[in-house]
Chain A
């Protein structure tokens, strides 16, 4: 039973690894916070429905911002949108990475070389200037569009990882046994290889989310994303744009920054602890 095995793994990690023990509850709390957005009494795009720039109080736990929004509720939306964005990029780029990695590793030869060349040329491209430039091309780039663009740039590292895994699997005895027993290629790939590849896919999901969310925050703060959609980046943008620091509205900066730090640190800790668990040799992870 995979569910039982998984929960057993979680319990074991929880008991043994401090990093896991810290990061998992924090992440769960953040997800719960994001889910709270469904109960919001306010529309995330509305503004000036509460008095502006009020410090935290009982009726507004995180205070209100200079655009007349309740910071608590707007942040539930921001966190939700950011998480969905990160997961979207991760899912899409994992799909590409798996396809490319498995095909390159299994087929080998010229196809492998061509795919790896493509991978490598994507890896060396400087993503940040390209994104600024793309923004210039498409005057309005929505978040789904941005997610697709990031997914296109986010897969090569992991495709290489998956490829090297598949290269190893192809040489193993069970491949030959399966093929001689009349297993189809697709069946072999999906039923025999996938279980070996999936752990890498899961671990890299988190790493990919860290990467895409980091870019989202940076781009938003520079004002390069649709600023009327609340995300962790855009709410920080508005706080800086409207001089929250000069006005002394510390809560307006503090809560977004605190949540970004919590989110990134807990994701990272979870990632490191999971990679250690999956492959103890790869202690030091590079991206």
Chain B
């Protein structure tokens, strides 16, 4: 037992170091890239915006304005000085101000949008994973019943259509033609977020279509994934042997076939939950849902790179920790995998 704990700690520390390393590299890259893009100096963009309105500014006051803005934005000094001050702020939980909606801090913008995306993603990913995995496992084992065939045809019909078009069709049919659901937003305008039933109902109603579109696509993808996995597993010796043994079919399916396919599916689920940043970006744009994806997209379009960096940072941390969690949990699900090795 002692050796088990020892090897677990060794494994955990190794994975954790890798996780931190990934975050470090990710932060450094997201720091560098926007600064290397020509013409993305936020001070210049802000001044240009003022000039576009038609105000005439003498060149020397333009220079002064740029300097003042850079100081306000916290962008003075050399690249290396900026890099260190960025890390200092980061460790204090301060990501600096957003440039496009100055002086709102990036963290408050993100914390306003994060719950919507996280909620939508967690809910839809879990539902579609459960349904898709179960159906996929049963379908490929039981062969071709009528329902399985219908489901297969539907999921294959949905597969090639670009997700955007699918979401748009849902939006048009249910929000514009039938008017069952609102056309956008996360809750009724005028309601204040609270724990009341009215607010909860409004959130449900607004979230239904985005969730439905994600679930339709998700179930189909997990279904096909699971079927591929299971169709490999059922030819393995241990399954054939269990069949020869006349094991009860439900046990065979649950503890032999599905269980063997589970690690790969679970890994996929955890990785999907880590994609808070890009996972629902198109959904949010189609249904004008005020989540992280919309925020990221407008930030990129407005060259608001403090905000882009902030969101990227969140997503890097999310993905890094999701993979860490998978690595730690997999040995519990799959006894073939053991806590051995360090940072492999």
Q: Which residues of A contact B (CB under 8 A)?
A: 126, 128-129, 132-133, 136-137, 139, 210, 213-214, 217-218, 221-222, 236, 240, 245, 253, 257, 260-261, 264-265, 267-268, 272, 284, 286
A286/B228 in contact, CB under 8 A: yes
A284/B231 in contact, CB under 8 A: yes
Which residue of chain B has the shortest Cβ distance to A128 in the bound complex? B278
Residues from chain B with Cβ under 8 Å of A129 in the complex:
277-278
A261/B161 in contact, CB under 8 A: yes
A261/B297 in contact, CB under 8 A: no
Residues from chain B with Cβ under 8 Å of A136 in the complex:
37, 40, 300, 303
Q: Summarize A's interface: helix, strand, loop or mixed.
A: helix
User: Within 8 Å of chain A (Cβ to Cβ): is B66?
Assistant: no
User: Within 8 Å of chain A (Cβ to Cβ): is B162?
Assistant: yes
B224/A284 in contact, CB under 8 A: yes
Residues from chain B with Cβ under 8 Å of A260 in the complex:
161-162, 165
Q: Please, how many angstroms separate the alpha-carbon atoms of A257 and B159 in the complex?
A: 15
Q: Which of B221-268 contact A (CB under 8 A)?
A: 224, 227-228, 231
B278/A126 in contact, CB under 8 A: yes
Residues from chain A with Cβ under 8 Å of B282 in the complex:
218, 222
User: Given contacts A132-B300, A284-B228, are A214 and B162 in contact (CB under 8 A)?
Assistant: yes
User: Within 8 Å of chain A (Cβ to Cβ): is B217?
Assistant: no
A218-B162, A260-B162, A284-B227 given; 15 more Cβ-contact pairs under 8 Å: A126-B278, A128-B278, A129-B278, A133-B33, A214-B162, A217-B162, A217-B164, A222-B282, A222-B297, A245-B176, A260-B161, A261-B169, A264-B161, A268-B159, A284-B224
Q: Shortest Cβ distance from B252 into chain A, in angstroms?
A: 22
User: Within 8 Å of chain A (Cβ to Cβ): is B150?
Assistant: no
Residues from chain A with Cβ under 8 Å of B37 in the complex:
136-137
Q: Mark B268-308, 1 if CB is under 8 A from A, else 0.
A: 00000000011001100100000000000100100100000
28 A-B pairs in the complex with CB atoms less than 8 angstroms apart: A128-B278, A129-B277, A132-B300, A133-B33, A136-B37, A136-B303, A137-B37, A210-B160, A214-B162, A217-B164, A218-B164, A236-B168, A240-B168, A245-B183, A253-B168, A253-B172, A257-B165, A257-B169, A260-B161, A260-B162, A261-B161, A261-B165, A261-B169, A264-B161, A264-B165, A272-B156, A284-B227, A286-B224
List the count of A-B residue pairs having beta carbons below 8 Å apart: 65
B300/A265 in contact, CB under 8 A: no
Which residue of chain A has the shortest Cβ distance to B168 in the bound complex? A257
Q: Shortest Cβ distance from B321 into chain A, in angstroms?
A: 18
A264's contact among B40, B160, B224, B227, by CB below 8 Å, is which? B160
Q: Please, how many angstroms separate the alpha-carbon atoms of A143 and B164 in the complex?
A: 20
Residues from chain B with Cβ under 8 Å of A210 in the complex:
160
Q: Please, how many angstroms separate the alpha-carbon atoms of A286 and B231 in the complex?
A: 14
Residues from chain A with Cβ under 8 Å of B303 in the complex:
136
Which residue of chain A has the shortest Cβ distance to B224 in the bound complex? A284
B165/A217 in contact, CB under 8 A: yes
Q: Shortest Cβ distance from B32 into chain A, in angstroms?
A: 13
Which residue of chain B has the shortest Cβ distance to A265 in the bound complex? B160
Q: Shortest Cβ distance from A278 into chain B, in angstroms?
A: 18
User: Within 8 Å of chain A (Cβ to Cβ): is B80?
Assistant: no
Residues from chain A with Cβ under 8 Å of B228 in the complex:
284, 286
User: Within 8 Å of chain A (Cβ to Cβ): is B157?
Assistant: yes
Which residue of chain B has the shortest Cβ distance to A132 in the bound complex? B300
Q: Which of B169-215 contact A (CB under 8 A)?
A: 169, 172, 176, 183
Residues from chain A with Cβ under 8 Å of B169 in the complex:
257, 261
